[in-house]
């Protein structure tokens, strides 16, 4: 049976492992060991779960997390006549284990994230898709925007 829910502290080890799996390409090119990564990523996740600005949805099947989607609330500067707490959601770290892909799990997690975002007055959701994920996000109602600009350094 599939359960979609918010992550809690008991999920940290599984989420770290999935991030490690998700980052296979970067891992190949770097010297980070799993133990070192586990320490860094666990600290991030614990802080995130407690922060009130990060929310992590997971899909669980038979007590195993098989998919996740992270949402960070980005607070905006208030404007006269607008919401007293303007914010939008940044969607990131979306991953489904290969054996569970193409079964609608990602779409169901996205629906939970979207509904939560609407219920909690987020103005919109934003993400930077990989080229492989554009079709998934398009199917789930995201559209390309030409409004954002980026500046990179280093």
Per-domain boundaries in the chain:
2-139
Q: What per-residue confidence (pLDDT) applies to 154?
A: 75
Q: 3-class SS at 102?
A: coil
pLDDT, tens only, 70-124: 999 999 999 998 888 899 999 999 999 999 999 999 999 999 999 999 999 999 9
Q: In what order do the strands lie in the sheet with 125-126?
A: 2-6, 54-61, 64-75, 87-96, 125-126
Using the Cα atoms of residue 103, residue 104, residue 110 and residue 115 in order, give the sign of their dihedral: negative
Query: Which CATH class for the 2-139 domain?
Result: alpha beta
> Taking residues 123-134, what's their average pLDDT?
92
The alpha carbon of residue 28 and the mean position of all alpha carbons in its chain are separated, in whole angstroms, by 23
Please report how many Cα atoms fall inside a 13 Å half-sphere around the Cα of residue 2, on the Cβ side: 15
pLDDT, tens only, 47-62: 999 999 999 999 999 9
**What do you get for the CA distance between the two ends of the chain, in Å?**
47
């Amino acid at each position: 049976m599939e359960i979609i829910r918010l992550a809690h502290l008991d999920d940290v080890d599984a989420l770290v492992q999935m991030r490690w799996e998700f980052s296979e390409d970067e891992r190949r090119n770097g010297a980070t060991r799993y133990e070192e990564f586990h320490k860094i990523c666990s600290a991030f996740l614990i802080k995130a779960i407690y922060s009130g600005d990060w929310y992590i949805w997971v899909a669980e099947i038979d007590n195993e997390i098989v998919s996740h989607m992270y949402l960070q609330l980005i607070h905006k500067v208030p404007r006269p006549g607008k919401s007293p707490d303007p914010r939008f959601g940044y969607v990131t770290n979306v991953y489904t284990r290969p054996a569970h892909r193409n079964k609608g799990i990602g779409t169901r997690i996205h629906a939970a994230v979207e509904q939560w975002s609407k219920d909690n007055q987020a103005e919109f959701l934003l993400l930077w898709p990989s080229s492989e994920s554009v079709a998934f996000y398009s199917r789930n109602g995201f559209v390309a925007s030409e409004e954002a600009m980026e500046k990179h350094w280093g």
